[in-house]
Homo-oligomer: A and B are copies of this chain.
Amino acid sequence: MSANNPAEGKKMPAFQSVINHLRDQIRSGELQNHAALPSERTIGEQFGISRMTARRALLAIEMEGLAYSAGRRGRFVSPQRLTYDISKTVSLSALAGKEELGLTIKVVSKQMIAADAALSAKLTIAEGEALYKYTRVFLLKSHPAFIEEEYAIARVFPNLFDHNLQQSTTVLMEQVYNMPPHSGDITIRMRALNEKEAGLLSLPTYHAGIELEQVIYGSDGKPFCFGRQIWRGELAEFSAHAIVTG
């Protein structure tokens, strides 16, 4: 009846029993949302394993989405995954509306740049045309959820930076500039985070995350904004309703 039951066949790795134990504690509610997990060293002592093996288990728990790391502050229980409906909202207005999520937006940088080859192709504009570029980090209950880099055509949104960027820019574009989003091309992929991204999300470098790229089109069918979000993969899921056309 032990965690390493020989009757069950192959022997279980040592880190596996730590994973099972922590998973049970989190699922049962013994460890509640945003509660601190035991440290690597503590787990090592409790289970009679080395710190590196305990670390192995904790990284697995992170990947399962049950906990998140906050750098040298420790690891904490993850809140529930939130669902992001890409067929209803190409923007974040849906998130911003829900007060219980505790959404705050931190502006990391804002600047003006000239469109390079890739951006001019995505936005169907001339290479070199002026763009607003701004990077923001979205936090849920002061816990970083994703980074967003957006590129907006300067010609379409004069004096964009005079407005507050700590809100949904889609709402801003719609209400101030009368450019409501009509449709969007979205691409979702899993990839490793680079050093900068990992820092902003307080994750170890080369941790996996989800990248969501979107080109937003206006009612005239022309793209006016390109955005790239880098999500902590354990925090979100993306849903869509698709009609089969091909």
Give residues in A with beta carbon < 8 Å to B.
Answer: 19, 59-60, 63-65, 81, 83, 85-90, 94, 180-192, 205-210, 233-234, 236-246
- Write out the residue numbers on chain B whose beta carbons fall within 8 Å of the beta carbon of A237: 187-189
Looking at the complex, which one of B90, B205, B245 makes contact with A244 (CB distance below 8 Å)?
B90
The docked-state distance in angstroms from the alpha carbon of A192 to that of B83 is 18
Q: Are A94 and B246 in contact (CB under 8 A)?
A: yes
Residue of B nearest to A19 (CB): B206
- Write out the residue numbers on chain B whose beta carbons fall within 8 Å of the beta carbon of A189: 81, 233, 236-238
Residue of B nearest to A215 (CB): B241
The docked-state distance in angstroms from the alpha carbon of A89 to that of B243 is 8
- Return A20 CB to nearest CB of chain B, in Å: 12
- Return A184 CB to nearest CB of chain B, in Å: 5
- Write out the residue numbers on chain B whose beta carbons fall within 8 Å of the beta carbon of A65: 190-192
Pairs A-B, 8 closest by C-beta atoms: A190-B233, A189-B237, A60-B206, A88-B246, A63-B192, A208-B208, A64-B192, A187-B239
- Asked, given contacts A206-B64, A208-B233, A238-B188, whether A87 binds B182 with beta carbons under 8 Å apart, the answer is no
- Return A129 CB to nearest CB of chain B, in Å: 24
Looking at the complex, which one of B190, B209, B243 makes contact with A182 (CB distance below 8 Å)?
B243
The docked-state distance in angstroms from the alpha carbon of A60 to that of B194 is 10
- Write out the residue numbers on chain B whose beta carbons fall within 8 Å of the beta carbon of A89: 244, 246
Residue of B nearest to A89 (CB): B246
- Write out the residue numbers on chain B whose beta carbons fall within 8 Å of the beta carbon of A88: 244-246
- Return A161 CB to nearest CB of chain B, in Å: 25
- Return A113 CB to nearest CB of chain B, in Å: 23
Looking at the complex, which one of B190, B234, B238, B245 makes contact with A187 (CB distance below 8 Å)?
B238
- Asked, given contacts A192-B64, A234-B191, whether A185 binds B241 with beta carbons under 8 Å apart, the answer is yes
